[in-house]
Amino acid sequence: MIMDGKNQSTLPHGASAQPEIAEVRSIAIEVESGPAKGTIQVTAGSRCTIGSHSRCDLIVDDATVSRFHCEILTDRTRARVIDTGSRNGTMLDGVSVRDAYLRDGSRIQVGSTTLRVSFANSSTTLKLSKHRKFGEMIGESVAMREVFYLLERAANSDATLLIEGETGTGKSLAARSVHDASRRKDHPFVILDCGAIPANLMESELFGHERGAFTGASQARMGALEEADGGTLFLDEVGELPLDLQPKLLGALEGRAVLRVGGNSSRAVDVRIVAATNRNLREEVNAERFRSDLYYRFAVIAITLPALRHRRLDNISLAQQILHRLGADSEKIDLLMSNGLQQKLNTAIWSGNVRELRNYLERCLVFEEVVPILEVNAGNETGDYSAYSYAEAKTLALRSFESNYLRSLLSNHDKVASAAKHAEIDRTYFYRLLRRHGIKS
């Protein structure tokens, strides 16, 4: 996350409230060997990026270090290192890791550079919203109140906003809430799902086209950027944006003008961009699937929505809100809670986050009891689903099959297009399946 009471939906545009604060532990990172030997970086927030790119918090000018190599996340007591798709991997105390907790004195190897981590005695102050609600989003946890603080500030500006987070964490809801709290709330909120549109149609969907621009273009049509003029354009799953289209989008954002496909003159637009992705765009930049200049154009304000397992304090109030919206009255909600629902809420992993939670609660209402949680890997290696009803076991087995099949396909094919072709399914639908199971392509 880039750092820059009283339940109310949003702060009015231009208004402010004195934030509350929380603290996270400071980490000192010393470069022990490599080109930047002797450099010391003390973390100044909950996230510290490490890599060779000039926008990293700790810049390591080493040819064997990726642009965005890894990052260190901290809370009040612990810190962890996450490899962000680096070319050469990240080693922690001699072991290759993807995501691992650090100890005081740990050594991190990035390329040919060694970093030593020390837990500092000082701490960093994080600003938290005084509110437990933003738009339709609710949260008592420190993680969500930190998000609300950033969303409130984002709503009071026209700056481009990038919302990252796992599938089902509420990115589209956050985008809509920012728009509704902004000065643009009375103007269009246009959604463009970059993962659901074939690559050959994306340019027309974004920029529009003139009559006769291509076969089938029988009349002129404005694109999403023009439709959102005066309001907000929400680019969902922006990590799916075709690489060859990214320079044109960057040019349109920088010039605040749109050139339709087949057109000769640009049209001025006044649009606020909110982009969202369940991918780590820093990984995509490392893999050269996403332009770094466009990434930074999106990430003027960057907010990462926490996974449900990282905000367990919110589970009960979130479930109550969802049940109310599904039509349950207070008596039915209290009955479910007393019959074991509260324990389920606090012990489940919720890998699908709020979307999975909502589906589970809807099943509870349909069966009028606390039903088993359908985890993707709930069956054992022999496929024993005997603990479930026939309908539940069938759903569970299908989810498990889909997840395993998709992962196997991707491991055997370099590109999503070839994997979809091998499976004989449409590429757009293939992307939807990947998002449904939280699988990165």
pLDDT tens per residue, range 253-270 = 999 999 999 998 999 999
Instruction: Choose between 348 and 242: higher pLDDT.
Output: 242
pLDDT for the residue 144:
94
Mean per-residue pLDDT, 199-225: 90
CB 268 within 8 A of CB 279: no
Indicate whether 47 pLDDT > 70: yes
Q: Which of 346, 398, 342 is nearest to 374 (CA)?
A: 398
Indicate whether 389 pLDDT > 80: no
Q: Does the pTM exceed 0.75?
A: no
pLDDT for the residue 15:
45
pLDDT tens per residue, range 323-354 = 999 999 999 999 999 999 998 888 787 878 99
Number of other CB atoms surrounding residue 382 within 10 Å: 6
- For tokens 């982009």, what's the residue? 275
Report residue 383's pLDDT band, with 50, 70 and 90 as the boundaries.
low
Mean per-residue pLDDT, 228-248: 95
Indicate whether 16 pLDDT > 50: no
Strand partners, 349: none
Residue 124's SS3 state is: strand
Indicate whether 4 pLDDT > 60: no
pLDDT for the residue 414:
77
Q: Which of 181-185, 190-194, 379-383 has the lowest mean pLDDT?
A: 379-383
Indicate whether 387 pLDDT > 70: no
Virtual torsion, Cα 298, 299, 300, 301, nearest 10 deg:
120
pLDDT tens per residue, range 113-147 = 999 999 988 777 888 999 999 999 999 998 899 99
Q: How far apart are CA 174 and CA 303, in angstroms?
A: 10
Instruction: Choose between 380 and 3: higher pLDDT.
Output: 380
pLDDT for the residue 379:
43
Report residue 10's pLDDT band, with 50, 70 and 90 as the boundaries.
very low
- Provide the mean pLDDT of the chain: 87
Q: Which of 4-18, 154-168, 336-350 has the highest mean pLDDT?
A: 154-168
Report residue 180's pLDDT band, with 50, 70 and 90 as the boundaries.
very high
CB 15 within 8 A of CB 182: no
CB 79 within 8 A of CB 119: yes
Contacts of 130 (CB under 8 A, 6+ apart): 5, 6, 17, 18, 19, 20
Q: Which of 93-107, 301-315, 412-426 has the lowest mean pLDDT?
A: 412-426
pLDDT for the residue 392:
57
Number of other CB atoms surrounding residue 202 within 10 Å: 19
Strand partners, 27: 119
pLDDT > 70: what percent of the chain?
90
pLDDT for the residue 11:
47
Indicate whether 12 pLDDT > 50: no
Angle at 175 between CA 172 and CA 178, to 5 degrees: 150
Indicate whether 1 pLDDT > 70: no
Report residue 391's pLDDT band, with 50, 70 and 90 as the boundaries.
low
pLDDT for the residue 377:
45
